[in-house]
Amino acid sequence: MSSSNLDKGAAGESMAVLFLEKLNYQILHRNYRLSHLEIDIICRDKNCLVFVEVKNSPSGTFGHPAEWIDERKREKLRRAAQAYIEKHDTAGLDIRFDAITIYKGSMEHFINAF
């Protein structure tokens, strides 16, 4: 991945964190890595542990970023979440997968995206 793409990804994730904090989500981790798997943001929304995938497309060149979260990506996120749950005390918490997309400067939050 080029440094330009990494910069766009980091900028999108920073925007997503600010957005979630305004909604009173508690940010637990950013760019959480487990071997070859990564979760962009892990946070708490009341009694729910939320795994958030962030996709940023400033220009919209390759379509809407929500389309980029295909079944292969969702499966990787599920595996990463399972590994996280096995390593951390998550007893009593509901689990949810959200997506945040930034498309041509407009942000969308997909709660319980998959």
Q: What is the DSSP string of 57-71?
A: ESS-TTS-GGGG--H
Choose which CATH entry (3.30.43.10, 3.40.1350.10, 3.40.50.11270, 3.30.750.80) describes domain 3-110: 3.40.1350.10
pLDDT at position 7:
57
Residues 70-97: tens digit of each pLDDT: 999 999 999 999 999 999 999 999 999 9
98: helix, coil or strand?
A: strand
Q: Report DSSP state, residue 15.
A: H
**Which residues contact residue 7 at a Cβ distance below 8 angstroms, ignoring those fewer than 6 apart?**
none
**Which residues contact residue 113 at a Cβ distance below 8 angstroms, ignoring those fewer than 6 apart?**
53, 69, 97, 98, 99
pLDDT at position 3:
47
pLDDT at position 108:
96
Going from N- to C-terminal start, the domains of the chain cover: 3-110
CA distance 108 to 39: 18
Low-confidence ranges of the chain (pLDDT < 70): 1-9
Instruction: Tell me the residue ranges of DSSP E strands in the chain.
Output: 26-34, 37-45, 48-57, 94-103, 106-110
Mean pLDDT of the chain: 90
pTM to 2 decimal places: 0.89
